[in-house]
């Protein structure tokens, strides 16, 4: 099986859907000849033309509003925002329109649209271009939130998101773009709301999202050398969330650590923690749940400070050992 990058997997999913369905089109800033801020749409305008790979003005409100209108008429737009931070300019459209219209029309209206956006730190893009805001979107009824960590998941989940009749926020972590893994050439779909056990273990469950999945797996390899078995779970989608897979794992390991890049305060890790606290898995816990998240500061430009602001592999290793009282 061939290996391709996460970036190539996202492009391939869009290409396959656009070849199959003429109602699918892309819109966003500089996505045409330039190929998008990170090159995800590079080469697509040559195949599909400027009508279906549509450059827009620098206005996230206009991009999102156009996409919502197109979706209501039966098309399936994929809008790209250059950075996830810029969703703040589109909040009224996404929160008060896209998320609500199907409900307000009693299910008679559909809003089949995908908002794709690069998220997270690690590229020196500083405070206004490096945030992880997925918890905001997960709080809004009517929006689905997807956060794939691997190329395989990115292709399969984007296919499912484009086929969905509801608005989907699709977060692509910038540091994942160049990662590679085996990805089939043929079409396949990964259902939204199905977590993946990235690594089986018996001593502690680590639930990680986006780039933290890779850091958790790296930590698990190091911990294995010391005889510690770590189970790593990637929810893949926050809304809908596969609670059962997480609960089942915690009942097996009796310990839970949740790690995400977003600021710990108000982050989605608190939701996962409360789910376990309210489930039968709570009675199986042998140690308090630990949450690792970003520090409550804007992401710094300085590379050393940028790394210090979010969890790293040594932080995960330390948290696991503390949970196990391992010295």
Instruction: Dump the DSSP string for 274-287.
Output: HHHHTSGGGGG-SS
d(CA 73, CA 22): 14
What the block records as the tokens of 9 is: 């997997």
- Give the Å distances, CA to CA, from 272 to 50, 246, 292: 43, 9, 12
- In the sheet where 256-263 sits, what is the strand order? 196-199, 230-234, 204-208, 256-263, 290-294
Active site residue 129: yes
- Under DSSP, the state recorded for 90 is G
Q: Which residue shows structure tokens 């989605």? A: 268
Give the residue ranges of DSSP H helices in 254-324: 269-277, 303-308, 313-323
Contact 82, 37 (CB under 8 A): yes
What the block records as the tokens of 272 is: 């996962």
98-134 in b/e form (b: 16+ CB < 10 A) is: bbbbbeeeeeeebbbbbbbbbbbbbeebeeebbbbbb
Q: Which residue shows structure tokens 């698990």? A: 220
What the block records as the tokens of 225 is: 């050398």
d(CA 210, CA 220): 16
Cis bond upstream, residue 130 (ω within 30):
no
Give the count of beta carbons closer than 10 Å to the beta carbon of residue 297: 11
Choice among 129, 173, 214, 260 that is catalytic: 129
Q: Cα angle vertex 61, ends 60, 64, to 5°?
A: 80
Q: Which residues are catalytic?
A: 129
């Amino acid at each position: 099986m061939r290996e391709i990058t996460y970036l190539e997997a996202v492009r391939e999913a869009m290409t396959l859907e656009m070849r199959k369905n003429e109602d699918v089109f892309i819109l966003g800033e500089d996505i045409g000849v330039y190929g998008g801020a990170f090159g995800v749409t590079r080469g697509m305008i040559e195949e599909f033309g400027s009508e279906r790979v549509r450059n827009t003005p620098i206005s996230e409100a206009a991009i999102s509003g156009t996409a919502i209108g197109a979706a209501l008429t039966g098309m399936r737009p994929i809008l790209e925002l250059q950075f996830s931070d810029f969703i703040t300019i589109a909040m009224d459209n996404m929160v008060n329109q896209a998320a609500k219209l199907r409900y307000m029309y009693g299910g008679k209206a559909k809003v089949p649209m995908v908002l794709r956006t690069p998220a997270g730190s690690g590229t020196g893009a500083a405070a206004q271009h490096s945030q992880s805001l997925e918890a905001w979107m997960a709080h809004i009824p009517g929006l689905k939130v997807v956060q794939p960590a691997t190329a395989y998941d990115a292709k399969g989940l984007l296919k499912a998101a484009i086929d969905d009749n509801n608005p989907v926020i699709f977060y692509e972590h910038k540091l994942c773009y160049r990662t590679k893994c085996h990805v089939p050439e043929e079409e396949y779909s990964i259902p939204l709301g199905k977590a993946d056990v990235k690594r089986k273990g018996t001593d502690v469950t680590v639930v990680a999202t986006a780039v933290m999945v890779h850091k958790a797996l790296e930590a698990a390899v190091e911990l294995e050398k010391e005889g510690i078995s770590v189970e790593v779970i990637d929810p893949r989608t926050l809304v809908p969330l596969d609670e059962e897979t997480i609960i089942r794992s915690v009942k097996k390991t009796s310990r839970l650590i949740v790690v995400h890049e977003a600021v710990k305060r108000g982050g989605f890790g608190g939701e996962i923690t409360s789910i376990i606290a309210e489930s039968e898995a709570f009675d199986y816990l042998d140690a308090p749940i630990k949450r690792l998240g970003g520090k409550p500061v804007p992401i710094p430009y300085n590379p050393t400070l940028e790394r210090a602001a979010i969890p790293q592999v040594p932080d995960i290793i330390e948290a696991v050992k503390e949970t196990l009282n391992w010295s």
